[in-house]
Amino acid sequence: PHASGVRVGGFVLDAASRQVLLDDSPVKMSPREFSLLFFLLSHPGRVQSRDAILRAVWGPDFSGDSKTVAVHIRWLREKFESFPSLPFRINTVFGVGYRMDIAPGVQLQR
């Protein structure tokens, strides 16, 4: 993805500064969490397999456990679950991977 960032309502992901803001407050994220969130938001509505996520976020030479994707997804969910008004959710597509779903009528701004 080559977008400079993503804005959805009060949520801002700024790729240049690698910052995430929620209602103007910074959200603490590891570099890997940031990259994973940016990757998923760059492909809204599309199912991403664990392998595709590993290649895109961890790199083609990653040789660790693919369960690391599930762990990082859980950490992202935990960071944002206390914001029910957030207009996106990371959904599990069982046996396949994950999909970033955006609320109906909400447009991503890049």
CA distances from 87 to 8, 9, 105 (A): 7, 7, 10
With a cut of 60, say whether residue 4 has pLDDT above it.
yes
Average pLDDT along the chain: 89
Rounded distance between C-alpha atoms, residue 78 and residue 71, angstroms: 11
- Domain covering 30-102, topology: Arc Repressor Mutant, subunit A (1.10.10)
How far, in Å, CA of 96 to CA of 22, rounded?
Answer: 29
Sheet holding 11-14, edge to edge: 5-8, 11-14, 19-22, 25-26
Average pLDDT of span 82-91: 85
The two structure tokens encoding residue 17: 């500064």
- With vertex at residue 21, the alpha carbon angle to CA 54 and CA 41, rounded to the nearest 5 degrees, is 35
pLDDT, residue 101, reads: 92
Q: What pLDDT score does 2 carry?
A: 44
pLDDT of residue 3: 54
Residue 80 has pLDDT above 90, yes or no: no
pLDDT recorded at residue 95: 93
Domain ranges of the chain: 30-102
- Say how far apart CA 89 and CA 84 lie, in whole Å: 10
Report the pLDDT value the prediction gives residue 84, as an integer from 0 to 100: 75
In this structure, of 62-66, 68-72, 81-85, the range with the lowest mean pLDDT score is 81-85
Which pLDDT score is estimated for 106? 72
